Chains A and B, each alone.
Chain A
Amino acid sequence: MKKEKTVKLNKLFSKPIKEAHFQKRFLGALEIKKDKEFLDASFESHGGMRTARADLDATALQRINKLAPYIKANRGAVKGAPLVAAGILAAGLTVFSLFFMNPLLEKGIETGLEGIFGARAELDGLKFQPLRFRLAIEALRVADAEKPMTNLFESGKLEFRLNPAALFRGKVYIEEASAASIALGTPRQSSGALPGKETPPVKAAKEKPESPPLIDFARFDAKALLEQEKSKLAVSAAYAQSAKAYDEAAARWEGRVEASTAALQNAQQSSKAVLSLDLNSIRTLDQASKAIGDTKAAISAASAVGNEAAAISSGIATDAEALSELSKATRAAFNKDADYLKALVNPKSGAAMAALEPSLRAMLSDKAELYLDYGIKILDAALKLKASGGAQDATKDKKSLAARGRTVPFPSVGYAAFRLGLLRSDFTVEGSSWAVELKELSSEPELSAGPSALLVSMSRANGFAVKNALEADLRSSSKASYTGKADIERLPIDLGSALADVGLDGFSGSASGSLSLSGEKDGASAGRLALTVREPNVARPAGSIGMAVSSALKKTGSVTLDAAWENAGGNERFSLSTNIDAIVEEALRELASSYAKQASAELEKELRSYVAEELEGSIASKEEFDALFAATKGDKAASDSLKKSLDTKLKDLENKAKALGTSALQGISLPKIGP
């Protein structure tokens, strides 16, 4: 016989339960109707208390016990055992920090840098230690957007100390950072252009500026110099202008003069009959009257011809005056060209400086533009960082909206979204000791204590040192500008072949002085360089002047140079003052005196010859114009003479008619008129 299993009632039901409590906490916790009815029926009520019925069998007891967990679980809304969740969270954070945090941060920083610099950014070995608030990066490379195969900058190991208070506000405040090394303009293995972003066109190299030649007196050739300078002479253009004006004037008057001459000839022809008329042959008043009429018609025609000839003569006279002015200008151009050519062989006139200035200007402008361009790039990056702290455009593409939404900025009173307090780097490259400090770079510069600043200094064992301070104050939203100043000490310079055209190939020396730069975001920038070059030396002097200058430079021992460069709204201005001209003038005084007079005379002779042989013949229309002027003057005189003759004839005819009229009246008695 099978023994019935003994079942004990769950402790939850062992004690008497108050009726109200039983209804609310026990029956109320059950939601299946038949379970509820079963539990209600299994407990009997005594004096307001519920106890389990004594006659419940094992099956019933088992069923009641199965309901106990639901009754317990369904009580209240809160439980006190969230350890599982905490455990899951801890495990999740551990997994995240071990496998996902560093790669995600690396990608995020790369994306941010690419947004700021517009070119590929690469980070190696990022390691974030959240409990120590430290971040380390093994290497960082940011490509130059304008030269994708070159890095804008590259750094060695970077270490950052983060501000915990800012981090708890979701901000990145790097209190201090250090870089093992920093290098600019290093070559890249692969292109640093961002996908889908066009590489900006490479700026065309500036053409070498034209400069007047420095004459080698020892091998002076006036004809060759004239040939070389012909394209710059003003007299050629003046002659060309005169020739054109004469051609146009001749063409303008030629037809009219011809027509006027023909009209004169017609008038003369038609007047012949009138002028040859014999007065004695006129016997009647009718004949006299007809002759008078013919004469008046001839006078009228002669007057018209005379008026046209006068008008033409007046017009040609006006043109002749203008052409005369052009001739004067041509003569002035000749004189100017003669002076210019003579100046080339006269070093006292500043020709040496005029020859040197374009080369110096090009070289210094290129350098200034390079440094000013770096300043603009740094300023641009800082401004992009500043812009990243602002609101995202509400009209951003819908895809990114759906994915990430929009971030609405609220004013920060303590911490910028990103702030770099100080980045310091000291390193040595090829015997040069570098020290770099970057201060206060922030996405919200208004919250920074001071302006953004970059301090770079470099020194060598031989005493060469450069200290460079670049400062950009972006705290005012109205004006974005930077200023920079570099102090230079014993900077070795070698201009290579930059001055070779003026006979000073391989100019070198040791420069000391200062360079100041300033610029604004709109592109306006200015620079000033004040340098003294000591121990100047020309490695390969050429020509008599080059040799003389080379000796003078050695003798003088120093060259001073003060250059100012300014770019406002695309208009570049450059000014340069140095003692080079004085050195050259002193060096050439004796040399030039023996050559300059003879060279000047030869040059003027060559110029006159050139004008006579090549230019004067170019004004072919001058003679034609003069002939037209003379012809129209002759026509005017002839027409005046004809008119005078006709006037006399008319007077005679009128007298004849008068006489005929008087004789006809004699013997005729007039009727009496009266009452």
Chain B
Amino acid sequence: MLLKLLAKIIVMLNSNTSSSQVAAGLASGLLFALLPTGNLLWIALFLAVFFTKAHYGMLMLASAGFKLALPLLAGPLDALGWFILSLPALQDAFTWLYNQPIAPLTRFNNTLVMGGLAAGLALWLPAFFAFRALIRLYRRTLADKLANSKFMLSIKKLPLVKALSGAIKSAQRVQSALE
């Protein structure tokens, strides 16, 4: 299962899958990792992502990966959320929002939700451009060299890598069948 997931990622990185879509998936994964679950805002954003072409696989993977670091970020996110929710200039707006239908169900007045949303949105564009640049750099400079390097050729002979290669081929077949 893990091998197949790894294989799919390698296939995706070495295919023509849009680097923008992969980067959007990664950036969105970061956003979903920072935003606590169990509120309407998370559900709404999750649904919205399904209308985009962001790469879902990378979104899930990035969300799970970044979520591991969340306990370390809880304090700063709480402080950020408290700061935003306490801004005098925004009190009227938040009060109005709080009294609208549906809006309270987003739990926007929770410090972790507000802090996570603010941090996630602020980091989305930088993360998107950074991930896209990295993928493009990999495809342009590293992908071919890595595939044909002596190191990779010797690695490919290892039993584990053979299994991985098989997994990649089966992943490619599945992808072709889907396409």
Q: Could you tell me which A residues sit within 8 Å of B by CB distance?
A: 29-35, 66-67, 69-71, 73-74, 76-80, 82, 84-86, 89, 165, 168-171, 394, 398, 401-414
Contact = CB atoms under 8 A, between A and B. Distances in A.
Nearest to A32: B16
Nearest to B94: A410
B50 interface: yes
A78 B52 contact: yes
Contacts of A71: 16
Contact of B86 (A35, A85, A408): A408
A662 to B, nearest CB: 119
24 contacts: A29-B16, A32-B143, A67-B16, A76-B53, A77-B24, A77-B53, A82-B47, A82-B50, A82-B51, A85-B47, A165-B101, A168-B105, A169-B103, A402-B78, A405-B74, A405-B77, A405-B113, A406-B82, A406-B111, A407-B107, A407-B110, A410-B98, A410-B109, A411-B98
Closest 6 CB pairs of A and B: A405-B112, A85-B50, A170-B104, A69-B179, A70-B16, A402-B74
Given A74-B18, A79-B53, A410-B95, A169 B110 contact: no
Contacts of A73: 17-18, 21, 53
A128 to B, nearest CB: 16
B169 to A, nearest CB: 15
B150 interface: no
Nearest to A401: B78
A406 B84 CA distance: 13
B126 interface: no
Interface of B: 14-21, 24, 36, 43, 46-47, 50-53, 71, 74-75, 77-78, 81-82, 85-86, 91, 94-95, 97-105, 107, 109-113, 115, 136, 139-140, 143-144, 176, 179
Contacts of B81: 405-406
Given A73-B17, A170-B104, A79 B109 contact: no
A29 B18 contact: yes
A78 B53 contact: yes
B50 A84 contact: yes
Contacts of A170: 104-105, 107
B112 A404 contact: yes
A31 B105 contact: no
Contacts of B136: 31
Contacts of A79: 51-53
Nearest to A398: B75
- Most B CB contacts (10 A, CB to CB) among A32, A86, A411, A414 go to A32
Contacts of B144: 34
A402 B19 contact: no
A163 to B, nearest CB: 12
A408 B75 contact: no
Contact of B140 (A33, A89, A403): A33
B139 A31 contact: yes
A408 B85 contact: yes
A85 B49 CA distance: 9
A168 B82 contact: no
Contacts of A408: 82, 85-86, 94, 109-111
- Most A CB contacts (10 A, CB to CB) among B19, B20, B101 go to B101
Contact of A89 (B43, B111, B115): B43
A85 B111 CA distance: 28
Contacts of B46: 85
B51 A78 contact: yes
A89 B49 CA distance: 13
Contacts of A168: 101-102, 105
B104 A171 contact: yes
